[in-house]
Amino acid sequence: MTERIYSLLGIARGAGKITSGESQVEAMLKKGKGSLLVLAEDAPGTHKKYSQWARDLNIPVLIFGEKLELGKAIGLSQRSTVLVMDDGFAKAILKVRG
Tell me the domain boundaries of the chain: 2-97
Closest CA to 36 of 51, 16, 15: 51
Tell if the pTM clears 0.85, that is, is over it. yes
How many H helices and E strands in the chain?
A: 5, 4
Q: Which CATH number fits domain 2-97: 3.10.20.30, 3.30.1330.30, 3.60.15.10, 3.40.1160.10?
A: 3.30.1330.30
Maximum CA extent, the chain: 31
The residues, any chain, with a CB within 8 Å of residue 7's CB and separated by 6 or more, are 73
What's the first-to-final CA gap in the chain, in angstroms? 9
Q: How far apart are CA 70 and CA 82, in angstroms?
A: 8
In the predicted model, what is the mean pLDDT of the chain?
95
In this prediction, residue 97 carries a pLDDT of: 86
User: Digits of tens for pLDDT over the chain (98 positions)?
Assistant: 899 999 999 999 999 999 999 999 999 999 999 999 999 999 988 998 899 999 999 999 999 999 999 999 999 999 999 999 999 999 999 999 87
Please tell me the predicted confidence (pLDDT) of residue 98. Answer: 77
